[in-house]
Amino acid sequence: MKMKNRIVYHGTKKDFVDDILKNGFKPNTYFALNLADALEFGGEYIFYVILKLDEKDKNWQPRCKRTITPTRICRLIKVNPKIVYENDNAEIKFFGKGKKYPCPNCGADIGRVKLSIFGKPTNPKCPKCNKTFKQLFI
């Protein structure tokens, strides 16, 4: 079993950043082998961490049995995605029209709900009553 140092990624929310920088990662924390997975399944704060991994292990989400100390953190970034282009017609053509949701405040159809890269609504307000409909996503 040949082990090799490798950079892996861990995405998280702001609430956990200070604790991780101070205490490291708890045992059995999941890491991603590529940045896209950390963005998709983590949060807007991405840690770059050096781990020693088995070269033959093909697990896309390694985790360590021990605490990972902060000395293995080599970078922390904050990602703030911004949609610069969107083609609704392409989405409808290949995936269908999507689900329709009634506004929990006034009952009007709020239409297709667009999600950000982190799975949160990009505009969580009813177009009719202008009240938030956050409770649909809790």
Is residue 112 included in any domain, yes or no?
Answer: yes
Is residue 62 included in any domain, yes or no?
Answer: yes
Is residue 59 included in any domain, yes or no?
Answer: yes
Is residue 72 included in any domain, yes or no?
Answer: yes
Which pLDDT does position 37 carry in this prediction? 83
Which of the residues in the chain have pLDDT under 50?
Answer: 115-123, 136-138
Is residue 115 included in any domain, yes or no?
Answer: yes
Indicate the residue among 78, 109, 130 that finishes a domain.
78
Q: Check whether residue 16 and residue 68 sit in a common domain.
A: yes
Is residue 38 included in any domain, yes or no?
Answer: yes
Total of domains in the chain? 2
Residues contacting 39, CB < 8 A, separation 6+: 11, 46, 79, 117, 118
Q: For residue 114, what are the domain limits?
A: 88-138
Which pLDDT does position 116 carry in this prediction? 46
